[in-house]
A and B are shown apart, each in its own frame.
Chain A
Amino acid sequence: MIRTGQVLVLTALLACAAAWAVDPTHLADPKLQARYVALTHELRCMQCQNESIADSPVDLAADLRRSVRELLEQGKSDAEIRAWMVARYGDFILFRPRFIWRNAWLWSAPLVLLAIGVLVSWRIVRTRAALVAAEPDGADGEP
């Protein structure tokens, strides 16, 4: 009798551990499971905006994880699943933003700034070189 009681308590404790895990989902196919984990980590929980749906304990995140799982099981590709999410929640749901015309300036900004930097330093080097060439006696100034 006591044994049964102990077993029950232990079982209850084990169940608690499962409940604490935010996402207990486990897909039978390890490949699908890997894609599931990757996808849920790169989709934003819209309610608690700095968490991914994999890390968030809110109901909406659980619903979105269920959607990801169902879409995976339907054989949808990662790109299709991302597009499905973007169609409903917009680009904001992606933690890794896509390159679209609206944010093209943002993506190209580092390159543009680098180009400006190169241009400016090239001009400085050229003017300095010209100065040195004009004063062959030395750059010290006083002859």
Chain B
Amino acid sequence: MKRFLLPLGIFALVAVVLGVGIWRSPEKGVIVSPLLGKPAPQFSLPNLTDPAHPVRSADLRGRWYLFNVWGTWCVECRAEHAMLLNVQRSGRVALIGLNWRDNDAEALSWLQQLGNPYQTVAVDRSGREAIDWGVYAAPETFLVNPQGIVVYKHIGALTEEAWTREILPRLPPPVASKS
């Protein structure tokens, strides 16, 4: 019996190491953003709906916002749109859009047809801004805190589950409507 103890022990050790590697890897298959816990990129970008006022990261300081990367060419973005409208209706956090590699006219008609959940939409036609955020597939959504730190990233269509489990608990409690 004793002679099997060592190989068995080694096997158990390897199994545990591999098992931990598989099960503990955060959100299997999803790439963790190196931006988490770090300051969001600084930017000053054209404003889709109000060309006179560029969208600047400095102006967003001091409050929570969701930074949502989308494009009219993106199928999943259409799927998540209803959820974005729900988020806007909840009034819990401002939605800032990043219209990625798109066409202004098409983006505007998209918002007209489906409703505009965004407080502001920044335009990134060249795709440079998206690279600074480490975006690799739209839609992606970042939660940024009042200090300008990225605290959470959701890859793919924003879901009810991600909203209630990941985003709402990170936000400050809602302000009472009456004072």
Q: Which residues of A contact B (CB under 8 A)?
A: 46-47, 59-60, 63-64, 67, 86-90, 92, 105, 116
Given A67-B131, A88-B131, A60-B34 contact (CB < 8 Å): no
Is B146 interfacial (CB 8 A cutoff)? no
Is B152 interfacial (CB 8 A cutoff)? no
Contact indicator A46/B131 (Cβ below 8 Å):
no
Partner of A47, one of B32, B126, B131, B136: B136
Contact indicator A88/B134 (Cβ below 8 Å):
yes
CA distance A88 to B34 in the complex (A): 6
Task: Name B136's closest neighbour in chain A (CB-CB).
Answer: A46
- Give the top 6 A-B pairs by smallest Cβ distance, nearest first: A46-B136, A63-B127, A88-B134, A90-B34, A89-B134, A92-B31
Which range holds the interface residue count of chain B? Answer: 10 to 19
CA distance A30 to B20 in the complex (A): 47
Q: Mark B106-141, 1 if CB is under 8 A from A, else 0.
A: 000000000000000000001110111110110000
Is B33 interfacial (CB 8 A cutoff)? yes
Say how far A72's CB is from chain B's closest CB, in angstroms. 15
CA distance A57 to B98 in the complex (A): 23
Task: Name B31's closest neighbour in chain A (CB-CB).
Answer: A92
Task: Name A88's closest neighbour in chain B (CB-CB).
Answer: B134
CA distance A59 to B17 in the complex (A): 38
Is B78 interfacial (CB 8 A cutoff)? no
Enumerate chain A residues within 8 angstroms of B133, measured Cβ to Cβ. 88
CA distance A63 to B138 in the complex (A): 15
Say how far A111's CB is from chain B's closest CB, in angstroms. 16
Enumerate chain B residues within 8 angstroms of A90, measured Cβ to Cβ. 31-34, 134
Near A by CB (< 8 A), chain B positions 85-101 give 101
Task: Name A70's closest neighbour in chain B (CB-CB).
Answer: B128
CA distance A90 to B26 in the complex (A): 14
Contact indicator B131/A63 (Cβ below 8 Å):
yes
CA distance A64 to B17 in the complex (A): 35
Say how far B13's CB is from chain A's closest CB, in angstroms. 11
Contact indicator A64/B131 (Cβ below 8 Å):
yes
Contact indicator A86/B34 (Cβ below 8 Å):
yes
Say how far A17's CB is from chain B's closest CB, in angstroms. 26
Contact indicator B101/A46 (Cβ below 8 Å):
no
Near A by CB (< 8 A), chain B positions 27-75 give 31-35
Task: Name A86's closest neighbour in chain B (CB-CB).
Answer: B34
Task: Name A91's closest neighbour in chain B (CB-CB).
Answer: B34
Task: Name B6's closest neighbour in chain A (CB-CB).
Answer: A120
Say how far B10's CB is from chain A's closest CB, in angstroms. 8
CA distance A119 to B17 in the complex (A): 22
